[in-house]
Amino acid sequence: MRISIAADERVGVAGELEAQLRDRGHEVLLHGALARDERHEWAWASEAVARDVAEGRAGQGVVACWTGTGASIAANKVTGVRAALCFDAATAAGARRWNDANVLALSLRSTSQALLEEILDAWFSMAASAEADDLANVAYVDALPGVSAGVEIAPQLAVRDGIAAVQFYRDAFGAVELYRVGGSAASPELVVQLAVGATTFWVADESPEHESFSPALLGGGTVKMLLDIADPDEIFARALRAGAREVRPMQDEHGWRLGRIEDPFGHHWEIGRPLEGWPPAHEPRSG
């Protein structure tokens, strides 16, 4: 696995961290005081690691500062990152299992070399829980808006057979259900909120009397969804296995790795990821 790591100074176990990870067979990306020509302060260094993880350049990250607190706060500001400050192996194991933590935060002051080995052993040996309650908790936290955000725009997809649609989005995209109303004999019309990573969308049974028309009713859709995800080839293939129809194969175009599918309910999805170097830097204006 590729691990992105950073520390704001080369003290304590900061120098040992890289060697420990390489000895475990991991590829390492360096930031902060561990790299050349980068800002070493914990806010900048930890953000760099968090963005590596959130944008798919690294599978996991490790950030460190004197107490570990600032590093964890900075990393958690990046959408899609769940950073956990761990002082012992039990906390590290729990963070990976119950919280699906993807960035480990360490205290350079409190973490000895022996303790570092124990924490890393626990962190990398524990897989994230597949229990429904744990998945729902993680998805709910990922979907929470920032404190100052205040605004969210989330599409609602009208479908024919909402229950089947929800199951498809679970199977195809790993969607997690956050909210549900209806879908029972007493209240058949279904409305569900789903999350894929930090993004939410809604699925509802078509309701012509409320001017909510599915592609099946219209004879085509009016909205194209874009799923920006770290491993688009994997999700594209997964969607096809779940019953989607390929509209355009995965390919590199216009600065993206991109493919297009039609789900079984008539909605089109472009599944992709920006290629490295996209968007291109703007040339400075002269004069």
Q: Can you give the pLDDT of all 287 residues of the chain as single tens digits? A: 999 999 999 999 999 999 999 999 999 999 999 998 899 999 999 999 999 999 899 999 999 999 999 999 999 999 889 999 999 999 999 999 999 999 999 999 999 999 999 999 999 999 999 998 999 899 888 877 654 444 667 899 999 999 999 999 999 999 989 889 988 888 888 999 998 877 889 999 999 998 999 999 999 988 899 999 888 999 999 999 999 999 999 999 888 999 999 999 999 999 999 887 656 554 444 33
The CATH fold of domain 156-274: 2,3-Dihydroxybiphenyl 1,2-Dioxygenase; domain 1 (3.10.180)
Is domain 2-128 in CATH 3.10.25.10, yes or no?
Answer: no
| Amino acid letter for position 122 | A
Q: Is 278 exposed, middle or buried (0-12, 13-18, 19+ CB in 10 A)?
A: exposed
What pTM value is reported for the model?
0.60
| Amino acid letter for position 56 | G
> Which residues, 6 or more positions from 229, have their beta carbon under 8 angstroms from its beta carbon?
196, 197, 235, 271, 272, 273
| Spatial separation of the C-alpha atoms in residues 202 and 179, rounded to whole Å | 9
- Residue spans of the domains in the chain: they are 2-128, 156-274
